[in-house]
A = this chain, B = another copy of it.
Amino acid sequence: MNVTATMQTLQAENTAFLREVREIMPEFDPVRLGQVMHDQICELYPICRSITGNGVRETLRLMQQWIPLEIQEVASGTPVFDWVVPLEWNIRDAFVKSEKGQRVIDFQKSNLHVVNYSVPFRGKMRLEELKTHLFTLPDRPDSIPYRTSYYSESWGFCLSHRDFLRLADEEYEVCIDSSLEPGHLTYGEYILPGTSSEEVIVSTHVCHPSLCNDNLSGIIVATQWARLLRKIQARRFTYRFLFIPGTIGSITWLALNESSVIPRIRHGLVLTGVGDSGCLTYKKSRRGDAVVDRVLSHLLGQRGLKGKVLDFSPYGYDERQFCSPGFNLPMGRLSRSVHGTFPEYHTSGDNLAFVRPDSLEETLRLCLMVFRVLEGNRVMVNLSPKCEPQLGRRGLYRAIGGQSDAGAIEMAMLWVLNLADGTRSLLDIAERANLPFLTIETAAQALERHHLLEEKSFAVRA
């Protein structure tokens, strides 16, 4: 099935969902947006990123074309909880040259060839010795693995197993023209203020070099999400988008924002690996019953979207830090295929063909729905709680009785009236009624217009 055919199928399945998104953003054009996001990934793909250095800086600067993010620099040596911001790593060139002078491994061809954070090295050695510095994947002989050595000083090269087997037993010239020096850790931050100072955090890691799903897809979906949210005037929450190096970046950000921002966080999402063809997958926060957990479970359980929901575990991406017991933030992770479960993971196979415009777009649509539910999830009170109010004379109920079914909106109104006793949010009601949130909200708005329902509060427990 080609991409166009698949998209048609997907869009048929997603019609209801798409209609809902268009209600909040009429100009939403999925086909165009999917292609735009893929183009942006192409633009960022060649850059050699790492947890520090010019690769991240360049990436963030290119992103400033699309959203006006602020670039932050934190000096090497800054203590951040149990860690220290490391020396800044930069690399210009790296190769292994045969006796004939041929670059048999060449950083210029793919930045994955160098173990990320390799210390500078120059020397000559026989294959025997060189081998202790080489990483391959015998099971995936055509792929270059992605390896890092952030916190132990060493150097190495990664190459396809097929190329490895071709290496002759001879002396090689090895060069890693890198530097590891005091500098900075760089990250980007983009804040969209809302009427409330309570925050929703969206975080993606930006430290992976030429890998597309992990995590250019997360970077770009977050970027487009931010762009679209800018166009919506009425935002209750403040939205903060973080583009940070994995692990040390989130630790650094948490350390610097511990007392200022963290107490205001109400919901959050880590976005990673959101562009492949696998189904949408949400991993719950450590709490397991945070509102964001329930919103994603609700949306992924509704018609038109297929998705899985996983329990929290302490392995994965930056949710490890956000959900460490000292913070225990209400943040889950949105992905498609789960890291480590597909063969392209952390190899050169995670390339431009591995991420798809339609997958990127579907993820983005889900993000918009998450926004929609978080913003609309109010606690309501039925102002006419003794018996049902007479909906018919208000034009809210069919005139001729006796048929067997109430319409979807009628049912939703009955659910809202029955459950809106000031203890339940609209999400609670949608879950109990097993109806889409937007149907429940539409019903609630109709009842509100007729003064049968009143908002009690917006803020619900995180």
Q: Is A2 an interface residue (CB 8 A)?
A: no
- The answer to whether B386 and A146 touch across the interface, beta carbons within 8 angstroms, is no
Within 8 A of B (CB), among A310-331: 313-315, 320-321, 323-327
- The answer to whether A148 and B384 touch across the interface, beta carbons within 8 angstroms, is no
The interface residues of chain B lying within 8 Å CB-to-CB of A170 are: none
Q: Among A321, A327, A402, find the residue whose CB has the most chain B CB atoms closer than 10 A.
A: A402
The interface residues of chain B lying within 8 Å CB-to-CB of A420 are: 325
- The answer to whether B321 and A145 touch across the interface, beta carbons within 8 angstroms, is no
What CA separation (Å) do A252 and B385 show in the bound complex?
Answer: 15
Q: Is A190 an interface residue (CB 8 A)?
A: no
Copies of chain A in the complex: 3
Q: Is A405 an interface residue (CB 8 A)?
A: yes
User: What residue of chain B has the Cβ atom nearest to residue A381's Cβ?
Assistant: B325
Which of A97-105, A338-346, A369-377 faces chain B? A338-346
Known: A315-B411, A411-B315. A149 touches B400 (CB 8 A): yes
- The answer to whether B403 and A346 touch across the interface, beta carbons within 8 angstroms, is yes
- The answer to whether A418 and B286 touch across the interface, beta carbons within 8 angstroms, is yes
Within 8 A of B (CB), among A364-418: 382, 384-390, 392-393, 399-406, 411, 414-415, 417-418
Within 8 A of B (CB), among A407-459: 411, 414-415, 417-421, 433
Q: Is A282 an interface residue (CB 8 A)?
A: no
Q: Is A250 an interface residue (CB 8 A)?
A: yes
The interface residues of chain B lying within 8 Å CB-to-CB of A414 are: 314-315, 320
Known: A314-B415, A314-B418, A323-B418. A147 touches B387 (CB 8 A): no
Q: How many residues of A contact B (CB 8 A)?
A: 66
**Chain A 248-288 interface mask (CB, 8 Å, partner B; 1/0):** 00110011001000000000000000000000000000100
- The answer to whether B149 and A385 touch across the interface, beta carbons within 8 angstroms, is no
User: What residue of chain B has the Cβ atom nearest to residue A286's Cβ?
Assistant: B418
- The answer to whether A402 and B325 touch across the interface, beta carbons within 8 angstroms, is no
Q: Is A239 an interface residue (CB 8 A)?
A: no
What CA separation (Å) do A258 and B401 show in the bound complex?
Answer: 27
The interface residues of chain B lying within 8 Å CB-to-CB of A419 are: 314, 325
Q: Is A66 an interface residue (CB 8 A)?
A: no
- The answer to whether A149 and B82 touch across the interface, beta carbons within 8 angstroms, is no
- The answer to whether A148 and B400 touch across the interface, beta carbons within 8 angstroms, is yes
- The answer to whether B325 and A421 touch across the interface, beta carbons within 8 angstroms, is yes
Q: Is A152 an interface residue (CB 8 A)?
A: yes
> Which of B255, B345, B382, B421 meets A404, CB within 8 Å?
B345
Smallest CB separation, A395 vs chain B (Å): 10
What CA separation (Å) do A421 and B399 show in the bound complex?
Answer: 56
The interface residues of chain B lying within 8 Å CB-to-CB of A154 are: 399
What CA separation (Å) do A353 and B255 show in the bound complex?
Answer: 68
The interface residues of chain B lying within 8 Å CB-to-CB of A313 are: 415, 433
A interface, over-half SS: loop
- The answer to whether A386 and B149 touch across the interface, beta carbons within 8 angstroms, is no
The interface residues of chain B lying within 8 Å CB-to-CB of A385 are: 324-326
The interface residues of chain B lying within 8 Å CB-to-CB of A402 are: 116, 145-148, 346
Known: A314-B415, A315-B406, A414-B315. A150 touches B388 (CB 8 A): no
> Which of B115, B321, B382, B401 meets A325, CB within 8 Å?
B382
Q: Is A83 an interface residue (CB 8 A)?
A: yes
The interface residues of chain B lying within 8 Å CB-to-CB of A255 are: 386-387
- The answer to whether A387 and B81 touch across the interface, beta carbons within 8 angstroms, is yes
Known: A147-B402, A154-B399, A399-B149. A388 touches B321 (CB 8 A): yes
User: What residue of chain B has the Cβ atom nearest to residue A389's Cβ?
Assistant: B82
Q: Is A237 an interface residue (CB 8 A)?
A: no
List 16 A-B pairs, Cβ < 8 Å: A82-B388, A116-B402, A147-B400, A148-B401, A151-B390, A152-B392, A251-B388, A258-B386, A314-B419, A321-B388, A324-B386, A325-B382, A327-B386, A327-B387, A341-B404, A346-B404
In the complex, given contacts A82-B387, A147-B402, A151-B399, what are 8 additional A-B residue pairs having Cβ atoms less than 8 angstroms apart?
A116-B402, A250-B387, A254-B386, A314-B419, A324-B387, A325-B417, A325-B420, A326-B386
